Amino acid sequence: MLRYALKRFLSLVLSLAVASLIIFFVIEIAPGDPATFMLGINAQEDTVAALREELGLNGTKLSRYLSWVSGMLTGDFGTSYTYRTPVAQMVADRLKVSLPLAIFGLLLSVLIGIPAGIYAATRRGKGGDIAVMGATQLGVAVPNFWFAMMLVLLFAIKLRWFGAGGFPGWDKGFWVCLHALTLPAICLALPQAAILARVMRSSLLDVLGEDFMRTARAKGLTHLQAVWRHGVRNAFIPVLTIIGLQIAFLLAGAIIIEQVFYLPGLGRLIFQSINARDLIVVESVVMLLVFSVIVVNFLVDLAYAAVDPRLRSRE
């Protein structure tokens, strides 16, 4: 088990190194000079050159890459070209909204999707299954901003249970913030829950056809006992893969939802930075996202091993 974890960890470090290289050089070759952009088209040549010097845009590519990476390792993400504030601080402020939103969304997605999938699998072909499958079909097909608009119309404008958008800040209290994040989290979670439910259902149906499920019944377990004790854990591996993919999406893919609910999240930061050619912010945020995806994949790998003993002993 330890060797398995170590091996996965090595692959994590390698992926991060490769990812940082790719991100740096891809963004480097993107057109548009930040200094010119910041000073406007009519700026003096020497002013631009001075700013380029100040921003550190003049060194060799390699030295700039190394200073970027070593800065990140020490928590120094550089200074935003547009706002002239530390990127680390900007990202941290946005994460205070995006991370709780992602976790909230993930929890909802898992709590709705997995039970729905299990329920549908145990009632295969019956009314409950058809209803759940129909609902997930809608969940997958309908874009989440439409959900967002409908939820706002219903809960914010008609019923007035929730605000229509905005984020009060954590200093206003935990429950107030949670309340503000509820509608966005539901919008984020619904399509993900629909996918999870479908994967859980088909994976569990596969497992239910296995011989050991029949063995479990022959021991005297009821159908439901057999499903819970022997089916669900075996069916979980593909579901874990999907959950891992969803975490990354929930963290970065919330741009539209942040826009609809006017939340100061990571997605909007990326959007604004790209528009402003604030490359250092884009680089940092993308690197952060890659980092979180790779870490999540590492955790998913560990979770596989926890679920399936065969993986533990194979490596």
Partner 1 sequence: MSLLSIKNLTLSIHGIPILRDVELAIAPGEIVAVTGESGSGKSMTALAVMQLLPQGAEIAGQIHLSDEDILAAGEDRMCALRGNDVGMVFQEPMTALNPVKTIGDQVAETILLHGAMDRAAAMDRAREVLARVGLPENRFPLTRYPHELSGGQRQRVVIAMAIALRPKLLIADEPTTALDVTTQAQILELLTGLVREFGMGMLMITHDLAVVAEMADRITVMRHGEVVEQGSTGDLLTNMQHPYTKMLFQASGHKVVLPAPPPPAPLLDVANVVREYRLPRTRLFSRPEYFRAVNHVSLVINRGERVGLVGESGCGKSTLTRAILGLEDVQGGHIRLDGEPVFSGQSPNLSVRRKMQVVFQDPFGSFNPRHKVERLITESFHLLDNPPRGAARQDAVAEALTAVGLSPDDAQKYVHEFSGGQRQRIAIARALIIRPELILFDEAVSALDVSVRAQVLDLLADLCRAYSLTYLFISHDLSVVRTVTDRVIVMQSGEVVEEGVTEQVFANPKHPYTRKLIAAAPVLPELGVVG
Specify the stretch interacting with partner 1 by CB under 8 A; choose among 26-34, 44-52, 285-293, 302-310: 302-310
Residue 79 pairs with which residues in a beta bridge?
86
Cβ atoms 218, 137 nearer than 8 A? no
- 282 Cβ neighbours under 8 A, 6+ residues apart: 27, 270, 273, 274
85 contacts partner 1 (rule: CB under 8 A): no
146 contacts partner 1 (rule: CB under 8 A): no
Give dist(CA 168, CA 35) in Å, integer: 35
Q: Which of residues 19 and 307 has its CB atom nearest to partner 1 in the complex?
A: 307
Give dist(CA 214, CA 231) in Å, integer: 11
Q: Which of residues 158 and 310 has its CB atom nearest to partner 1 in the complex?
A: 310
Tokens representing 73? 């390792």
217 contacts partner 1 (rule: CB under 8 A): yes
How far is CA 48 from its chain centroid? 38
Give dist(CA 312, CA 315) in Å, integer: 6
Q: Which of residues 216 and 263 has its CB atom nearest to partner 1 in the complex?
A: 216
Pick from 54, 58, 212, 295 the residue near partner 1 by CB under 8 A. 212
33 contacts partner 1 (rule: CB under 8 A): no
Least distance (Å) between residue 11 CB and partner 1: 14
The contact pattern for partner 1, residues 225-264, with x = CB under 8 A and - = no contact, is x---xx--xx------------------------------
- 122 Cβ neighbours under 8 A, 6+ residues apart: 204, 223, 224, 227
Give dist(CA 136, CA 134) in Å, integer: 5
Specify the stretch interacting with partner 1 by CB under 8 A; choose among 106-114, 135-143, 173-181, 305-313: 305-313
Specify the stretch interacting with partner 1 by CB under 8 A; choose among 28-36, 104-112, 159-167, 212-220: 212-220
159 contacts partner 1 (rule: CB under 8 A): no
Pick from 216, 260, 270, 293 the residue near partner 1 by CB under 8 A. 216
| Ordered DSSP codes for 191-227 | HHHHHHHHHHHHHHHHHHTSHHHHHHHHHT--HHHHI
Give the binding-site size for partner 1 (rule: CB under 8 A): 26
126 contacts partner 1 (rule: CB under 8 A): no
Give dist(CA 144, CA 14) in Å, integer: 35
The binding site for partner 1 (CB under 8 A) comprises 3, 6, 210-212, 214-222, 225, 229-230, 233-234, 307-310, 313-315
